[in-house]
Amino acid sequence: MHAAGHALSIAGSMTWQIAWALILGFTLSAVVQAVVRRSTIVRLLGDDHPRTLALAAAFGAASSSCSYAAVALARSLFRKGASFTAAMAFEIASTNLVIELGVILALLMGWQFTVAEFTGGPIMIVVVAVVFRLFLREKLLRKAREHASLGVAGSMEGHAAMDMSVQGDGSFLRRLLSRDGFTAVAHVFVMEWAAILRDLIIGLLAAGAIAAWVPDSFWRAFFFAGHPLAAKVWGPLIGPAVAILSFVCSIGNVPLAVVLWKGGISFGGVVAFIFGDLIIAPILNIYRKYYGAKMAAFILVTFYAAMSIAGYVVELVFGGLGLIPGRATAQIPDQGVAWDYTTWLNIVFGLLAAVLVVRFTRTGGLPMLRMMNGAPDTGHGGGHGGHEAHTHAAHGHPGP
């Protein structure tokens, strides 16, 4: 009971430490998603040119999602006409280049990890684009598109199919400040929380248990912490593998990353591990359902290589610049609740979250929660079927 209590204490302290940052990140993301229409994204992602991939990354970073929803949304974009490479760039950015991830990394591990994550993400996208351009054959891509058109369900399909942006004319600011804009922000905010909550809880509990129960000596031996060169070589190679086996994705893997860093994994290994949320075992199975076994294997090999390469580049660059922090700067919170700036921030942002939740429940949001794991969208250019009709109705607009 003492060991279980210790693990829960660490998990609870981590939750308290990062709560305000999650609320801030999801609020900012909701603001962007409320005014950027899904049809606009599809229209701009029709090829794999550098400018298109940059736009895909920007849209993805603004459309933060849990890993499952990001993967489902990437399939939806691909079915509607976006290039496969652009859809994958969007997917990578929507889980690894988002505001809340950067803030939480800075809080728990140090600002260097935030900069490393936002440096490694574009590197990973470039590597994926180059590999796709060199090795992805048209025959395999055609079969993947045929497989995607079958509409086989994965996870978070209903969530990915919902376009909750404000419909109608006017500038971004005018739409955002309207009543419909307030409703849209509330809907996106709550739905993003609902999508991420399971993985966040699993990640916090897993990190608490590992921190409390697994001795540092195990991690130091596993990551060759006593051999600096071997650790730098081994870290980016093993980081994605640990992610695959952890079954923890999205922001939920950051608490576990803290434990691994304290245990001795290299700087680049931490970055590669965090990127690994898109190849955890359940998501690999979803790729198989979406695109077929051959394309799923191609994605696995490509993503794994890109994650490791990004980890090596970050290790070399940050090491050369002397920006790799000491492990003592990363703290595993276990002190519980204290009356400090974190408490004040949690109170302020907790009130903001309460306002958005109330707006969500009063504007027809609750039925949307039941639709999160509904059927995939139709993939036919114009709309999102029942999901879009419901969203329009909730925002005061007639259905399509």
Would residue 112 count as lying in a domain? yes
Q: Read off the pLDDT of residues 262-271 as tens digits, 9 standing for 90 and up.
A: 889 999 999 9
Q: Would the pLDDT of 183 be above 50?
A: yes
Q: Would the pLDDT of 395 be above 70?
A: no
- C-alpha 123/C-alpha 362 separation (Å) is 43
- C-alpha 119/C-alpha 103 separation (Å) is 15
Q: Which two tokens stand for residue 345?
A: 């921030």
Would residue 24 count as lying in a domain? yes
Render 209-240 in DSSP notation, one character per residue: HHHHHS-HHHHHHHTTTT-HHHHHHHHHHHHH
**pTM score, whole prediction:** 0.79
Would residue 40 count as lying in a domain? yes
Q: Which of 67, 84, 50 is nearest to 295 (CA)?
A: 84
With cut-offs at 50, 70 and 90, classify the pLDDT of residue 55. very high
Would residue 171 count as lying in a domain? yes
Could you tell me the residue range of the domain that residue 184 belongs to?
Answer: 2-394
Would residue 400 count as lying in a domain? no
Q: Which of 245, 340, 266, 259 is nearest to 11 (CA)?
A: 259
Q: Which of 18, 91, 23, 65 is nearest to 254 (CA)?
A: 18
With cut-offs at 50, 70 and 90, classify the pLDDT of residue 394. very low
pLDDT higher at 190 or 314: 314
Of 30-39, 213-222, 281-290, the range with the lowest mean pLDDT is 30-39
pLDDT at residue 331, rounded to an integer: 67
Q: Read off the pLDDT of residues 119-145 as tens digits, 9 standing for 90 and up.
A: 999 999 999 999 999 999 999 999 999
Most confident of 62-71, 131-140, 339-348: 131-140
Would residue 196 count as lying in a domain? yes
Would residue 399 count as lying in a domain? no
- C-alpha 364/C-alpha 4 separation (Å) is 40
Q: Would the pLDDT of 399 be above 70?
A: no
Contacts for 178 with CB less than 8 Å, ≥ 6 apart: 166, 170
Average pLDDT over residues 302-320: 97
Residue matched to tokens 């209590």: 5
Would residue 334 count as lying in a domain? yes
Domain count of the fold of the chain: 1
